[in-house]
Amino acid sequence: MEFTELVERQINADRQRGFQIDFADDANRLDQIEKDLIGLFGEVGEFANLLKKVRLATNHRRYPGPTLALAERELRDELADVAIYLFRLSVMLGGNLEVDILAKMDVNDIRYKTID
């Protein structure tokens, strides 16, 4: 599946589930962007919290946290949730995340050329 198709699949699923993506005015759009930003931070926080537990288990033998190998699936799930929020935010801002990422990569290629 192409990246753009992946985003479209998620956005269509959001619409079918009743999650607002389209707005009549900027006030409602801004409200939803803020809500999704909080959701994004929550998912990043879940990723960070699990990674913290992995680190504690690695550094302290008696801490009952998971190993990195045991946590990998859940960490990837949290990253997938992060990506879904990024898809939504990009669409609400009228963007195309694939195009925007590629453009930013081009900028970074120039910006960081001196360290290659």
Summarize pLDDT for 9-47 with one digit per residue, the tens. 999 999 999 999 999 999 999 999 999 999 999 999 999
Q: Give how far Cα 74 sits from Cα of 40, 66, 82, Å.
A: 16, 11, 12
Instruction: Report d(CA 110, CA 107) in Å as an integer.
Output: 5
- Domain range summary for the chain, segments of one domain joined by +: 3-115
- Please answer whether residues 60 and 70 qualify as being in contact, where contact means their C-beta atoms are separated by less than 8 angstroms: no
Summarize pLDDT for 87-99 with one digit per residue, the tens. 999 999 999 999 9
| 64 φ, ψ (degrees, to nearest 5) | -85, 30
Residue 44 burial (CB count, 10 A): 15
| 93 φ, ψ (degrees, to nearest 5) | -95, 10
User: What pLDDT, on a 0 to 100 scale, did the predictor assign at position 114?
Assistant: 83
Summarize pLDDT for 53-90 with one digit per residue, the tens. 999 999 999 999 999 999 999 999 999 999 999 999 99
Q: What is the CATH code for 3-115?
A: 1.10.287
